[in-house]
Amino acid sequence: MPRKSKQKTADDVSLITVGLDNDDGHQRITKGEEFLLLGGSAETHERMQDLAVHVTEALDKKGKRLQDACVEEVVDLIHDALTR
């Protein structure tokens, strides 16, 4: 019997970041409603957390969730977070 595939919806949108500079063997994972942060050194993972919070809070101030924003808007918010 063929498997039924799950229909993709706007609720399936997430921000996923991956840090590749971990050399201490510690596995860092942070999961939120709209993001998943994987790996990285302690410093990198903290920066990824700051980025996720910045994007989430900026969208919240606009009354939006991640799935409501266009790609360009999210990219702009990420750029803002990285340059502050």
pLDDT (0 to 100) of residue 9? 56
Per-residue pLDDT of the chain (84 residues; tens, 9 = 90+): 566 655 555 557 899 999 999 999 999 999 999 999 999 999 999 999 999 999 999 999 999 999 999 999 999 999 999 888
Q: How many CB atoms lie within 10 A of CB 24?
A: 8
What spatial distance separates the first Cα and last Cα of the chain, rounded to whole Å? 53
pLDDT (0 to 100) of residue 12? 74
Cα 58 to chain centroid, rounded? 13
Q: Please give the single-letter amino acid code of residue 38.
A: L
pLDDT (0 to 100) of residue 26? 92
| DSSP H/E element including 75 | helix 71-83
Does the pTM of the predicted model rise above 0.85? no
